[in-house]
Amino acid sequence: MNRKLTSLILLLVLSVTDAYLLAHPNLIGKIGILVYKHSYIQNFPRALVTVALVVAVSLLICEGSYRFLSRRISLGIYGTLTAVALVWFMYVYITFSSFSYRITGKAFIYGAHLLPVILMGLYTRYFLKRILIKEDKNTAVALGESAEKSRI
């Protein structure tokens, strides 16, 4: 099986799992979702659309950066996105360690932690892929390089 297809299947399975976990809090978590108006995770289809949109946009950003930007720029983008995902994960960890969120149910808590982990893995994978694969000078299409070539 192709590596890209395997990676997409893994992202799909993790996204469905995350949506399922987010859509199934305990009774106190359901009350919290209603009170704080988190309508985007009220039920499984809405949670699935939310998670799928976040993962799809992230995948498009990564793939577009990999194909159309220079190595240095794309490494900067991947590094920044990985750092943002790490900060988001730490925020979720600290937030869900408080008492009011701790009683929302383990499934909901695991679902809240899983989305930043999925994104961190996606960004890190593209970061390492970009580091390990050498760039061909003739096929590089970058915004900065095209401007330099036009001046020469």
* Residue 83 to residue 97: CA distance in whole angstroms: 21
Q: Which residue has the higher pLDDT, 143 or 105?
A: 105
- What value does the mean pLDDT take over residues 1-19? 89
CB 130 within 8 A of CB 64: no
* Residue 138 to residue 51: CA distance in whole angstroms: 37
Percent of residues, the chain, with pLDDT higher than 70: 87
Q: Which residue has the higher pLDDT, 150 or 6?
A: 6
Residue 147: the pLDDT is: 47
* DSSP for residue 142: -
34 pLDDT band (50/70/90 cuts)?
A: confident
Mean pLDDT of the chain: 87
* DSSP for residue 1: -
- What value does the mean pLDDT take over residues 122-145? 74
Residue 142: the pLDDT is: 47
